[in-house]
Amino acid sequence: MSAATESPGSETRSILAPTGNRVRVGEEQRMKRDMLSKNSVEKPKRVTSQTLPKRSGGAAVAVVLSNVSADSSSDSSSSCGGSTVKSVGSKRRIVKNSNGFVKPAKIVPNGVEALALSPMVPGPVKRCDWITPNSEPLYTSFHDEEWGVPVHDDKKLFELLVLSQALAELTWLAILSKRETFRKLFDEFDPSSVAKFDEKKLLSMKMNGNTLLSEPKLRAIVENAKQLLKIQQEFGSFSNYCWRFVNHKPLKNGFRYSRQVPAKTPKSELISKDLMRRGFCCVGPTIVYSFMQVAGLVNDHLTTCFRYDECSTDVKKNSTPRLEKTEVTRKAETMICTVNESKTP
């Protein structure tokens, strides 16, 4: 029997035999499996900017794969796609990206609460649009401390009414800059004192050149002081008279833009008609609405202004009107006291 011959280059054929130097099937298959398993294990490819996918802007997207255990406390740094990666404790954060797509990192050590790298810095206070960064400090203080604050003092209300009347000839800034002069001219805006101004007093004011208003306006102020005293006798105070038109509670319009704020309203027209019926002069609807705004009868601060809510808070503190005794009430109390004394043994 002739032996098997192999041609050059031919593969070895597995032969099932109990003896000899032939390769067994089981061992050959095991060797092949080992070879395949070794070949299948490949080293991970290094990620570079050339292998990363491109965005629409052409910038490489940094992909960071972290397999660090949660208990690790080692610090390390590496580079990936133009980004510097810093690992602190068990967490990695992208600190810097040359392409500008990564936000500033927050480095969070283990057990430490994160703190922002750039804390929020409060911006400038938001005011009504008619106050600008270039506004005079006096005008800004007037907006922040006085305009829109509810007023219940009769002298103060008379002052604000006079200043509102002066708006027909002057601006608020001009009025505020000469406010002390106004107070000296009108005896600290005491209605009882201004009501006593006679023709001689008016002429002296005009001759000395101290007047800031025209002669008709001065005469109107004196006449209004006389009518204000009558209102005090009828309603107890000028404050009670004014606040009853708004039910002793300021109106809140809630405007967002200055262009929405009106020059007059139906309420100001109603008050204007009633004042003129009582003998007041130079109290048109526009002047009355300016008086309502500055005296706090209406809150016309814009909703974006920080004073909008603050004036609403001031309302709760000053919502109770001050009642002053009228002449009739005083006489009635005197009569009651006299009767009680006569009954006393």
- Residues of each annotated binding site: 128, 143, 301, 305
| Longest CA span, the chain | 166
> For tokens 């990695």, what's the residue?
92
DSSP code of residue 262: -
Q: Are 257 and 302 in contact (CB under 8 A)?
A: yes
Dist CA 202 CA 207 (whole Å)? 9
Q: Is 194 exposed, middle or buried (0-12, 13-18, 19+ CB in 10 A)?
A: buried
Q: Are 297 and 246 in contact (CB under 8 A)?
A: yes
Q: Which helix (H) or strand (E) holds 241?
A: helix 238-243
Q: Is 92 helix (H, G, I), strand (E, B) or coil?
A: strand
The stretches of 71-198 forming alpha helices (DSSP H) are 137-145, 154-166, 172-177, 179-185, 191-194
Dist CA 1 CA 322 (whole Å)? 137
Which of 237, 233, 222, 231 shows the shortest CA–CA distance to 162? 222
The CA-CA-CA angle for residues 275, 276, 279, to 5°, reads 95
Q: Are 232 and 154 in contact (CB under 8 A)?
A: yes
* Inter-helix orientation angle 154-166/285-294, to 10°: 130
Q: Identify any residues that bridge with 79 across adjacent strands, giving them in sequence order.
A: 84
Binding-site residue set for Zn(2+): 128, 143, 301, 305
